């Protein structure tokens, strides 16, 4: 079912004067084939009416409904986001979808305003399209209702495998530059140490690299590791970072004991970027006295884009010549020497990479089906991603300049501490997302940016996990995906709010007529639970189905019994089968690991 009917980002700052055309303000519009005047109409009217209402109420509009569509709205500075869905979709799900979308963009690109200053709109349009398609792809209606993570079906998997995945992650954390991570298999979570929201974000890049397949010329790919390892810069909010640092994986290393041995490589690249003069000499080891650290502090505005600083200030914030004007031309981007980025790894051959490519290729077809994006769509997006690849390399450089001294500097981050009021444009802290792929299996780690330049750490992480990953992949591959438990004379859905995971016996294929009443009731009840904190359980019955829903702080469970005598008058009757649902649910769901007592 097409879920999102419209999505657009409109920049009101581009349409201030009398003669300004509405189209100037349209940053991105989905569906892209919408005639331009319809785009203008929707953007202009919705943004105009939205602004008028928000002025009257002195608060931004967050939901706007039309007769046929409902829109989640976000208004921030001059930006106006609108995401429209059919009216049947619960409002809360529409709002969650829009937040996910914006957060995804910020995760991979940093501040939205800044991105539009630095990049061509077409480039960013392709990214919005990519994130939107990722969020909408594949999963069932139930997944959309709960906005939950796609996980592997744990019921068919030996728990030891899950343990093994967790151990791999823990092992990686022995390297102080690794914050936390997750293990994914064919677009589904096997194990994760990071919050559901962050895991969801990480998965976008995973599925992208998966469908794209490893490329030797991809700047984010490390040839040294046979193309199996890639990385990209990502941006975390302060709260995400705090969450990461407070996680069980944290060993409190960041506040002290920054290994000195990393410095040379890092400073090498930094000084080269700064002066365009390659240098391998060692720098003073004290990060706090080095000019790079103070620059990181002074340049923090790049990633905490207070518009008063980054937008309005005409003086270049960054002293670096290539990017000082904030509007790099494509030529400038091309100037970035891709190969030289990770030259320290170049000595390694890439024969393994080729082999892996072949192995990966066989998975490709299967994957495009699993991820639901459709082979055609991916093929069509191919060139765009190539371009993006080029951009990414530039991103790395920007990042390196800015946070050059930033490895493990808690203090440096503290200096960028957020203004909580500007939650949407709160400071973003750059980190690196490291991916190690073994066929369908991916180890994704959030690492300190300097990890990439730290050959020893990187090799240690790579080699210490390689064997385990191979083993895990081999085991997971043998688990047949479709062999979920017996269907049973009932339907259920169990949503874990903490882990944001869903367990259900509904078949993944949409359109099961028998399932539709259950999905509809679940959607209504979920909205009700979300809006009423004190609500614990409910039974609702239409002529076609009686559905029981119950929730606790940590979970929501929905249950429907097939058959039974639904034929009744609807008058209160204690022998009515609808009222035996709670008992049946408790009994039946035990074997699915759901305890309702």
Per CB under 8 A, residues contacting other proteins are 38, 41-42, 45, 48-50, 52-69, 87, 520-521, 524, 528, 532, 534-544, 546, 567-574, 576, 578-579, 582
Tokens (6 digits) for 395:
């991103």
Nearer to other proteins, 91 or 393 (CB): 91
Q: CA 311, 449, 463: angle at the middle one, nearest 5?
A: 155
Nearer to other proteins, 92 or 184 (CB): 92
Whether 310 and 302 have beta carbons less than 8 Å apart is answered as yes
Whether 71 and 83 have beta carbons less than 8 Å apart is answered as yes
Nearer to other proteins, 438 or 521 (CB): 521
Q: Strand pairing partners for 74?
A: 81
Q: From the CB of residue 533, how many other CB atoms can be counted at a distance below 10 Å?
A: 6
Least distance CB 492 / other proteins (angstroms): 19
Phi, psi (rounded to 5 degrees) for 244: -60, -45
Q: Which residues contact 193 (CB under 8 A, 6 or more apart)?
A: 166, 169, 173, 180, 181, 182, 247, 248, 249
Q: Strand pairing partners for 76?
A: 79
Least distance CB 277 / other proteins (angstroms): 51
Nearer to other proteins, 13 or 577 (CB): 577
Least distance CB 564 / other proteins (angstroms): 14
Burial class (CB in 10 A: 0-12, 13-18, 19+), 526: buried
Nearer to other proteins, 73 or 594 (CB): 73
Least distance CB 265 / other proteins (angstroms): 47
Smallest CA-to-CA distance from 184 within 503, 433, 381, 388 is with 433
Least distance CB 145 / other proteins (angstroms): 15
Least distance CB 547 / other proteins (angstroms): 9
b/e sequence 361-370, b meaning 16+ C-beta within 10 Å: eebeeebbeb
Widest Cα–Cα separation across the chain: 86
- What 3-state class would DSSP assign to 28? strand
Nearer to other proteins, 50 or 110 (CB): 50
Nearer to other proteins, 154 or 538 (CB): 538
Least distance CB 529 / other proteins (angstroms): 10
Radius of gyration of the chain (CA): 25
Nearer to other proteins, 127 or 541 (CB): 541
Least distance CB 504 / other proteins (angstroms): 21
């Amino acid at each position: 079912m097409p879920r999102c009917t419209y999505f657009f980002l409109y920049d009101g700052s581009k349409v201030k004067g009398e003669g300004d055309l509405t189209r100037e303000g349209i940053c991105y519009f989905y569906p892209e084939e919408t005639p331009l005047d319809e785009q203008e109409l929707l953007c202009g009217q919705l943004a105009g009416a939205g602004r008028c209402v928000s002025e009257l109420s002195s608060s931004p509009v967050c939901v706007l409904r039309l007769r046929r569509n409902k829109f989640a709205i976000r208004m921030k500075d001059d930006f106006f986001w609108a995401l429209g869905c059919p009216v049947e979709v619960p409002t809360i799900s529409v709002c969650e979808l829009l937040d996910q979308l914006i957060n995804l963009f910020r995760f991979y690109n940093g501040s939205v305003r800044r991105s539009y200053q630095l990049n061509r709109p077409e480039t960013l349009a392709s990214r919005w399209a990519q994130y939107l398609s990722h969020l909408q792809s594949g999963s069932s209606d139930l997944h959309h209702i709960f906005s939950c993570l796609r996980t592997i079906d744990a019921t068919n998997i030996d728990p030891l495998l899950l343990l093994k995945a967790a151990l791999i992650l823990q092992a990686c954390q022995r390297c102080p530059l690794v914050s936390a991570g997750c293990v994914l298999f064919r677009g589904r979570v096997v194990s994760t140490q990071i919050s559901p929201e962050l895991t969801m974000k990480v998965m976008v890049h995973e599925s992208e690299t998966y469908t794209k397949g490893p490329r030797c010329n991809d700047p984010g790919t490390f040839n040294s590791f046979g193309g199996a390892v890639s990385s990209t810069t990502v941006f975390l909010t302060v709260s995400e970072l705090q969450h990461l640092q407070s996680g069980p994986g944290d060993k409190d290393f960041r506040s002290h004991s920054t290994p000195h041995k990393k410095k040379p490589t890092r400073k090498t690249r930094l000084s080269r970027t700064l002066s365009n003069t390659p240098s391998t000499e060692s720098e003073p080891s004290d990060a706090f006295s080095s000019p790079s650290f103070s620059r990181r502090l002074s340049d923090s505005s790049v990633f905490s884009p207070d518009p008063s600083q980054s937008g309005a200030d005409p003086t270049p914030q960054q002293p670096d010549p290539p990017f000082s004007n904030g509007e790099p031309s494509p030529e400038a981007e091309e100037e970035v020497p891709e190969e030289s980025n990770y030259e320290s790894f170049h000595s390694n051959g890439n024969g393994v990479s080729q082999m892996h490519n072949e192995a990966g290729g066989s998975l490709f077809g299967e994957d495009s089906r699993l991820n639901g994006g459709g082979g055609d769509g991916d093929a069509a997006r191919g060139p765009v991603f190539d371009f993006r690849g080029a951009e990414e390399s530039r991103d790395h450089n920007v990042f390196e300049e800015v946070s050059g001294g930033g490895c493990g500097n808690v203090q440096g981050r503290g200096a960028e501490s957020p203004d909580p009021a500007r939650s949407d444009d709160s400071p973003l802290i750059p980190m690196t997302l490291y991916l190690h792929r073994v066929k369908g299996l991916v180890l994704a780690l959030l690492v300190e940016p300097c990890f990439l330049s730290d050959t020893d750490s990187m090799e240690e992480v790579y080699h210490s996990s390689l064997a385990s990953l191979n083993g895990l992949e081999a085991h997971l591959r043998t688990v047949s995906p479709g062999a979920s438990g017996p269907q049973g004379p009932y339907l259920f859905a169990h949503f874990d709010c903490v882990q944001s995971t869903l367990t259900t016996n509904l078949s993944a294929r949409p359109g099961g007529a028998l399932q539709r009443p259950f999905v509809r009731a679940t959607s209504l009840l979920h909205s009700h639970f979300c809006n009423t904190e004190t609500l614990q359980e409910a039974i609702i019955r239409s002529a076609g189905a009686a559905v029981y829903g119950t929730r606790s702080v940590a979970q929501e469970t929905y249950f429907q019994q097939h058959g039974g005598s639904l034929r009744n008058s609807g008058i209160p009757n204690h022998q009515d089968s609808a009222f035996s649902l709670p008992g049946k649910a408790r009994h039946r769901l035990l074997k699915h690991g759901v305890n309702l007592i």
